[in-house]
Amino acid sequence: MSKHRHFIIHKPFGYLSQFKLEDNRKKKLLGELGEFPEGTMSIGRLDKDSEGLLLLTTDGKVSYAICSSKVEKEYYAQLDGNITAEALEQIRNGVEIGFEGVKYTTKKCKASLLDPKPNFPPRIKKIRDDRHGPTCWVSITLTEGKFRQVRKMTAAVGYPTLRLLRVRIGNIRLENLAAGIVKEVPRLEYNLLAE
């Protein structure tokens, strides 16, 4: 039996977190970023408009373990406006969002203002600039991952997300990996939570 293979990638804006589409529509897929073996799957997903750390593996057991609620996922979100301490506290304590047509209250999480702001390269699709009002960056760390959850959480407290990057899964960090770059690793050491 062949040895499993594992990859760390920086998913760029505009790509879907999958390798095949059922229909023939032209969309950017992960397979365009490198040569991957048969059976490679993304561990969790990032929606088309989100960027950042994505793990790939051929090992279903590793995928299942990392998707579990024991492993933290940390996101940096650029928000429309300067978020208040009260709104951050609401996010930490859980907010009500819609998920598949049902109201859902998010679990408690970590949320903090990032100061100084992170220095990411500009996104391919331009985000509005400061002439349209202030923006701020926050860090949100979850142990769950509903569809577009971070975006829904920040919107629920009045600060829509303009840009979203996942920067950490367990103890695996995005660091300085450039958008679109794929790094093969011998194993995915994901078992630690926050340091």
Catalytic residues: 47
Mapping DSSP to helix (H, G, I), strand (E, B) and coil, where does residue 130 land?
helix
Residue written as token pair 């490679």: 40
**Residues whose CB is less than 8 angstroms from the CB of residue 162 and which lie 6 or more positions away in sequence, other chains included:** 78, 79, 80, 127, 128, 135
Distance CA(107)–CA(97), nearest Å, equals 11
Q: Which two tokens stand for residue 72?
A: 């933290």
Indicate left, alpha or beta for 171 from its phi (over 0: left) and psi (-120 to 50: alpha): alpha
Q: Is the dihedral of CA 91, 95, 97, 99 positive or negative?
A: positive
Q: How far apart are CA 149 and CA 144, in angstroms?
A: 9
Q: Residue 63 burial (CB < 10 Å; 0-12/13-18/19+)?
A: middle
